[in-house]
């Protein structure tokens, strides 16, 4: 079961026209978010709809009505189910195919949400870049400066003690993101749930930890973009009773050359040591050695300037995702 249900509430709605489903939405209450931020805010998510303003409006009204009866005064979304997971709708960058664990939607979604009276709450940025033998010179200089400290090192995860490594990732992630807009710390159960989803595609060489005096201070979680393999199946695992789609997925998985940087961060007390530059320099060399060709960063909050400065030096900003809000 999704651990969101341990601290949240969900109500699901489906819109029909002449007996045919034409849209869906989830109304969400995240009690942990309400404790840390605004208690009057509810959420919507799992938003999927045909290109019809009336249908989109009815779905949003249904979610808003449910939230209103539970004391909420505003609605934010889409989130699936929290801002630690896929959040927002894609508003530009449709020239590229969907990547793993990123929102993707038809071009008309922003117009439907805005026609229903919702406005921008926050944008997230996404980047694409080529895998090169070395990082740009400015990043390499920062990495060299960090590496001169004898107390600093970068290592890959220890798969033999994966559970402990996951706790390390959670602790660093929660500390690094604590001051970000709308952030709610991930629980142990959420990390375990995410791990089960990621474990089949994890390559240990792609998960790194930065240490200072032997203690974990930074981390980066990178996985091959399995959407390449999923597209190869054509939406079906079997055909004519045979696992044709599954076999196509497995073949395509061996040819994945695109990477997703899913998450990363450095503990606040270590942010002036150049650990982010050191991690990405080491990772880029590993990616190149393993034969990967491109990578994707983000989504990252538009106000997260330290991350944006590093990302802009590594790659080209190519996508914008948007969270919407409105009074109910």
What residue has token string 């969270």? 323
Q: Are residues 190 and 284 in the same domain?
A: yes
Task: State how many domains the chain has.
Answer: 2
Q: Are residues 202 and 259 in the same domain?
A: yes
CATH number of the domain encompassing residue 31: 3.40.630
How far is Cα 7 from Cα 214, in angstroms, rounded to an integer? 35
Q: Is residue 186 part of a domain?
A: yes
CA distance readout (Å), 321 to 105, 174, 305, 328: 10, 22, 16, 23
**CB 126 within 8 Å of CB 298:** yes
Q: Is residue 47 part of a domain?
A: yes
List pLDDT tens digits, range 161-214.
877 888 899 999 999 999 889 999 999 888 888 877 777 778 889 999 999 999
Of 37, 25, 114, which Cα lies nearest the Cα of 64? 25
Q: Are residues 265 and 137 in the same domain?
A: yes
How far is Cα 289 from Cα 125, in angstroms, rounded to an integer? 28
Q: Is residue 148 part of a domain?
A: yes
Q: Are residues 285 and 141 in the same domain?
A: yes
**CB 292 within 8 Å of CB 257:** yes
**CB 108 within 8 Å of CB 74:** no
Q: Are residues 103 and 136 in the same domain?
A: no
How far is Cα 98 from Cα 123, in angstroms, rounded to an integer? 18
How far is Cα 66 from Cα 13, in angstroms, rounded to an integer? 10
- Exposure string of 149-165, with b = 16+ CB inside 10 Å and e = fewer, is eeebbbebbeeeeeeeb
> What per-residue confidence (pLDDT) applies to 77?
96
Within the chain, which residues score under 70 in pLDDT?
A: 237, 241-246, 249, 252-253
CATH number of the domain encompassing residue 287: 3.40.630.30
> What per-residue confidence (pLDDT) applies to 246?
65
Q: Are residues 208 and 94 in the same domain?
A: no
What residue has token string 């079961």? 1
User: What's the first-to-final CA gap in the chain, in angstroms?
Assistant: 30
Domain boundary among 122, 145, 165: 122
Of 66, 84, 55, which Cα lies nearest the Cα of 29? 66
DSSP 146: H
Q: Is residue 305 part of a domain?
A: no
Please give the residue range of the domain that contains residue 83. 3-122
Q: Is residue 236 part of a domain?
A: yes
**CB 93 within 8 Å of CB 126:** yes
Question: Strand pairing partners for 153?
Answer: 211
> What per-residue confidence (pLDDT) applies to 161?
82
Q: Is residue 312 part of a domain?
A: no
> What per-residue confidence (pLDDT) applies to 242?
67
Q: Are residues 181 and 32 in the same domain?
A: no
Q: Is residue 98 part of a domain?
A: yes
Q: Are residues 198 and 65 in the same domain?
A: no
In 10 A of CB 39, how many CB atoms?
A: 12
């Amino acid at each position: 079961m999704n651990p969101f249900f341990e601290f949240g509430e969900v109500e699901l709605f489906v819109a029909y026209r002449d007996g045919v489903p034409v849209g869906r939405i989830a109304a969400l209450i995240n009690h942990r978010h309400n404790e840390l931020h605004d208690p009057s805010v509810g959420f919507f998510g799992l938003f999927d709809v045909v290109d019809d303003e009336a249908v989109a409006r009815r779905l949003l009204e249904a979610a808003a009505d449910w939230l209103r009866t539970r004391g909420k005064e505003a609605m934010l979304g889409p989130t699936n189910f929290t801002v630690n997971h896929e959040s927002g709708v894609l508003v530009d960058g449709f020239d590229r195919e969907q990547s793993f664990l990123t929102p993707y939607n038809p071009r008309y979604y922003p117009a439907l949400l805005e026609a229903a009276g919702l406005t921008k709450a926050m944008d997230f940025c996404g980047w694409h870049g080529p895998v090169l033998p070395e990082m740009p010179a400015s990043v390499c200089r920062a990495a060299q400066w960090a590496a001169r400290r004898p107390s600093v090192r970068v290592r890959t995860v220890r798969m033999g003690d994966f559970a402990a490594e996951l706790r390390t990732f959670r602790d660093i992630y929660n500390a690094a993101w604590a001051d970000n807009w709308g952030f709610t710390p991930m629980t142990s159960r959420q990390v375990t749930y995410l791990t089960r989803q990621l474990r089949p595609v994890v390559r240990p060489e792609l998960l790194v930890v930065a240490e200072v005096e032997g203690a974990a201070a930074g981390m980066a979680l990178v996985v091959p973009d399995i959407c390449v393999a999923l597209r190869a199946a054509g939406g079906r695992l079997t055909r004519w009773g045979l696992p044709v789609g599954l076999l196509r997925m497995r073949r395509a998985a061996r040819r994945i050359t695109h990477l997703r940087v899913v998450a990363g961060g450095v503990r606040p007390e270590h942010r002036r040591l150049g650990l982010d530059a050191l991690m990405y320099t080491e990772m880029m060399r590993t990616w190149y050695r393993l034969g990967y060709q491109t990578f994707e960063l983000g989504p990252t909050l538009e106000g997260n300037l330290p991350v944006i400065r590093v990302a802009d030096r590594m790659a080209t900003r190519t996508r914008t995702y948007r969270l919407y809000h409105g009074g109910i």
